[in-house]
Amino acid sequence: MANEGYHEAEENLTQETKDMHKAIVSLMEELEAIDWYNQRIDACQ
């Protein structure tokens, strides 16, 4: 699973940086789901 934690203290980050991090984590989760779906398709053929 994607690393969802911050590498720096949250209180030191701007809202823009936190929002970007959230978007990146979300995208990584979606890509991971696509990978799982592709693997399931292969396994069920």
Please spell the DSSP secondary structure of 1-43, one letter per residue: ----S-SS-GGGS-HHHHHHHHHHHHHHHHHHHHHHHHHHHHH
Quickly tell me which residue has 């701007």 as its tokens.
14
pLDDT at position 2 is 46
Give the residue numbers spanning the domain of 20. Answer: 16-43
Quickly tell me which residue has 């592709």 as its tokens.
38
CB 10 within 8 A of CB 18: yes
Asked whether residue 39 is assigned to any structural domain, the reply reads yes
pTM above 0.75, yes or no: yes
How far is residue 40 CA from its own chain's centroid? 20
Domains identified in the chain, total number: 1
The tens-digit pLDDT sequence of the chain (45 residues) is 445 699 999 999 999 999 999 999 999 999 999 999 999 999 999
Asked whether residue 25 is assigned to any structural domain, the reply reads yes
